[in-house]
Amino acid sequence: MLSLVALVDQWRAIVDGLPEGWGEVRLRLTVEHEGRAARAAALLGPVNPGRRGTVITFSVARGGAGSSPDLVRRLLARLDAEGIGGSLELVLVRESAAAAEARTRPALAAQWDEAVAGLPDDWSDLYVELELDSSDHLEPGALLLAPVNPARRKPDARARPAGPESDALDERPAFRFRVARRFGYGASAGMTRRCLERLDDSGIHGQLRVLHALSDTKPVYTQGPVWYVGGRAV
């Protein structure tokens, strides 16, 4: 006997049970009444389904070209609205490329150690970027990084340089912060590493980059150097 649960609710339950790093899933919809199978396949046309009798199969991609989870939800809602019932099953789950890369990437604390090891012996000030693997981690990540005063950069409309300083950065789940080795603006190196360890312990992954570095700065009547990015002091 096929499920009496709405197809949208079945899809929601499947999504809730998927691993965090999923990139693509294959689904099988078995339509309750054979006479409605052709109509169901027609309504699912935008996801390019395949049909054999009452069984319809299609794929859903996450964060890329093709059918998105939200599109599938809307299409299934159309089936529900027309009273087309059935059972939606998960057939296959593929890991996203980002998740596969994250599994092979060093932990954030290890990335910090590697970055510092590559700096000159007299480094004094850093401007660092941490790009998280998932926007879902922005809020918990900001909380765990609070001691280093993380910020999401908002570009100045009057200054839009190309490359890593471009407006595209705003779309990424990324934070930027300063590190001061001995004095001045920014968190200490030890505090920075500890915050990154906290992210590692919480299962939050990402890519750490040192954007700018200064060596042997000697501020006079100031608390340290100031960088200007996109027309703003950081």
Task: Specify the residue for token string 């609070």.
Answer: 146
Out of 8-12, 67-71, 168-172, which region has the weakest mean confidence (pLDDT)?
A: 168-172
Q: Domains of the chain (ranges plus CATH)?
A: 7-99 (3.30.70), 106-233 (no CATH)
Averaged pLDDT, 71-79: 95
Question: For residue 64, what pLDDT is reported?
Answer: 59
Question: For residue 163, what pLDDT is reported?
Answer: 46
How far is Cα 41 from Cα 74, in angstroms, rounded to an integer? 14
Tens of pLDDT, residue by residue over 150-193, are: 998 765 444 444 444 444 445 789 999 999 988 878 899 999 99
Tens of pLDDT, residue by residue over 88-144, are: 999 999 877 666 666 678 899 999 999 999 999 999 999 999 999 888 899 999 999
User: CA-based diameter of the chain, in Å?
Assistant: 82
Higher pLDDT, 167 or 73: 73
State the helix-helix crossing angle for 7-16 and 69-81, rounded to 10 degrees: 150
Measuring CA to CA, which residue among 178, 184, 182 is closest to residue 223? 184
Question: For residue 120, what pLDDT is reported?
Answer: 92
Strand order in the sheet with 206-215: 174-180, 123-132, 206-215
Tens of pLDDT, residue by residue over 41-66, are: 999 999 999 999 999 999 998 865 56
* Dihedral (CA of 101, 104, 106, 108) sign: positive
**What is the Rg, in whole angstroms, of the alpha carbon atoms belonging to the chain?**
24
Query: Can you say how many angstroms the Cα of residue 85 is from the centroid of all Cα atoms in its chain?
Result: 34
Is the distance from CB of 112 to CB of 208 less than 8 angstroms? Answer: yes
Question: For residue 105, what pLDDT is reported?
Answer: 80
| Six token digits for residue 127 | 């401007």
Confidence of residue 232 (pLDDT cuts 50, 70, 90): confident
How far is Cα 173 from Cα 137, in angstroms, rounded to an integer? 8
Question: For residue 98, what pLDDT is reported?
Answer: 65
For the full predicted model, state whether its pTM sits above 0.85: no
Measuring CA to CA, which residue among 140, 112, 105, 102 is closest to residue 196? 112
* Dihedral (CA of 77, 83, 84, 86) sign: positive
| Six token digits for residue 5 | 């649960």
Question: For residue 102, what pLDDT is reported?
Answer: 66
